[in-house]
Structure formats: C-alpha cells, structure tokens
C-alpha cells in the first residue's frame, strides 16, 4: 500500500496511528501542503485525490481510498486486530460520535484551505485568523472534555478511533498555542496514547518528511 501523507497533517496522522496499531507498513509519499502554494493542488495529485487533500491510501489492488475516517474503518474491517471500535452498538456509536466531533466539527474549520481563504480572499489579519482557530478548538474541546471517559483512553481501557482523532487534534492545538489547562481529561488521554509506540512512531516529528 502507499500512503499519501504530510508530516503535519492531522488527518494523515490519524491514519499513520491506525496503520501502526495494525502492524501494517506502507510506502509513504509526502505531499507538501505549503510548498509552491501546496503541492496537493498540482494536477498529478488531483488525479490521485480529486479533493486535493491528504491522506489518501492506495491499496495493493490499485484502489484509492480517501477520507481518514473511511480509511481507518476500512483498515479495521480488513485487519480486525486490535479493534478500533467496540463491538457493542451503543458504545460504537459513542466512539464514532467523539471521532466526528473532532473530524467533522473541529478540524474542517481550522484546516489549511479555510484558513488560507480567510487570509487571501477575505483579507483577514493573522490575529483574527488565530482568534478564529482558537475559538473553534476551545468550543469543540469543551464538548469533548465533557464527553470523554478516560480509562486511560477516550472511551475506557481500549484505544479506539476516538483516540486516533484526539491525539492529532491536541498536537494541532499545541502548535497553534491554544491553552489546554481547562481540559485535564483530554491532556491525560493524549499522554496515555503517546506512551504507546504506535502513537509515538506516528508523531509528525518522527516522520521522514518532518521539517
């Protein structure tokens, strides 16, 4: 398999953790999201993923998968051990809800493309853009802090897709200096996860394309 990734991409970070947990190795192709306005915008990459975003996972069959939540669930279905979702339907729904708070409600507002649009098309100052970023992370984390049940992971004593989404989002928050002191449960879950080799190896700073 080939993973199209970028060291700092939190959506790619989620998939890197999933691959590590499943003991899977892939070729990695780095798509620099900043260089020359984003190499993801080049026709070569548009042909790989028409959405022009990472991650994308090319399977050995040649099929191309996009969207980190879909990729993680695919990996979980094809390589069920260790599971990334609980078996019990209510628990599964709760884990998916946490993952979606992050992947569907927090992350899209603070992604490269909308931030660039605020700056370039809407002419917003960097201080306003930073305030926007902080606002949506803080609002999302307030909900998340109330919803998680550390034990020590987000939903108890097994790692789930909720953790795979939480750790990269905390990385992003720290990088953009969002204060995390109001979120002790989120911070504790992040620390518990990063103590695991699968998470540690997936960290942005541990990637071959890290800068």
Ligand X SMILES: N[C@@H](CCC(=O)N[C@@H](CS)C(=O)NCC(=O)O)C(=O)O
* Closer residue to ligand X (CB): 103 or 162: 103
Of the candidates 75, 35, 90, which has an alpha carbon nearest to the alpha carbon of residue 161? 75
Beta strands in the chain (DSSP E): 2-5, 27-30, 56-58, 64-66, 149-150, 155-156
CB 12 → ligand X: shortest distance, Å? 6
Q: Which residues in 123-162 contact ligand X (CB under 6 A)? A: none
Contacts of 179 (CB under 8 A, 6+ apart): none
* Closer residue to ligand X (CB): 66 or 188: 66
Of the candidates 6, 3, 1, which has an alpha carbon nearest to the alpha carbon of residue 209? 6
- Between CA 107 and CA 47 the distance in angstroms is 24
CB 200 → ligand X: shortest distance, Å? 20
CB 23 → ligand X: shortest distance, Å? 22
Of the candidates 75, 66, 85, which has an alpha carbon nearest to the alpha carbon of residue 160? 85
Please select the residue that binds ligand X; options are 1, 29, 112, 180, rule is CB under 6 A: 112
Return the range that interacts with ligand X (CB under 6 A); candidates 62-70, 91-99, 120-128, 177-185. Answer: 62-70
- Between CA 175 and CA 62 the distance in angstroms is 35
- Between CA 170 and CA 168 the distance in angstroms is 5
Return the range that interacts with ligand X (CB under 6 A); candidates 47-55, 134-142, 188-196, 201-209. Answer: 47-55
By CB under 6 A, residue 40 contacts ligand X: yes
Return the range that interacts with ligand X (CB under 6 A); candidates 8-16, 94-102, 121-129, 133-141. Answer: 8-16
Return the range that interacts with ligand X (CB under 6 A); candidates 4-12, 82-90, 91-99, 139-147. Answer: 4-12
By CB under 6 A, residue 68 contacts ligand X: yes
Token couple for 115: 């931030």
* Closer residue to ligand X (CB): 54 or 166: 54
3-state DSSP assignment of residue 1: coil
By CB under 6 A, residue 207 contacts ligand X: no
* Closer residue to ligand X (CB): 132 or 188: 132
Yes or no: say if 186 and 148 are a contact pair by the CB < 8 Å rule.
yes
Residues that bind ligand X (CB under 6 A): 9-11, 33, 38, 40, 53-55, 67-69, 103, 111-113
């Amino acid at each position: 398999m080939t993973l199209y990734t970028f060291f700092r991409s939190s959506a790619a970070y989620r998939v890197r953790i999933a691959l590590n947990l499943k003991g899977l190795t892939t070729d990695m192709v780095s798509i620099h999201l900043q260089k020359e306005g984003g190499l993801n915008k080049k026709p070569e990459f548009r042909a790989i993923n028409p959405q022009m975003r990472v991650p994308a996972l090319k399977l050995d069959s040649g099929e191309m998968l996009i969207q980190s939540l879909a990729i993680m669930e695919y990996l979980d279905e094809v390589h069920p051990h260790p599971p990334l979702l609980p078996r019990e339907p209510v628990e599964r729904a709760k884990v998916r809800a946490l993952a979606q708070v992050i992947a569907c409600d927090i992350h899209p507002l603070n992604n490269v493309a909308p931030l660039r649009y605020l700056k370039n098309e809407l002419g917003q100052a960097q201080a306003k853009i930073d305030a926007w970023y902080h606002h949506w992370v803080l609002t999302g984390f307030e909900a998340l802090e109330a919803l998680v049940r550390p034990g020590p992971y987000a939903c108890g004593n097994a790692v789930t897709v909720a953790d795979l989404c939480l750790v990269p989002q905390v990385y992003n928050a720290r990088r953009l200096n969002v204060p995390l002191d109001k979120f002790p449960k989120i911070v504790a879950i992040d620390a518990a996860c990063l103590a695991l080799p699968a998470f540690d190896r997936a960290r942005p700073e541990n990637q071959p394309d890290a800068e």
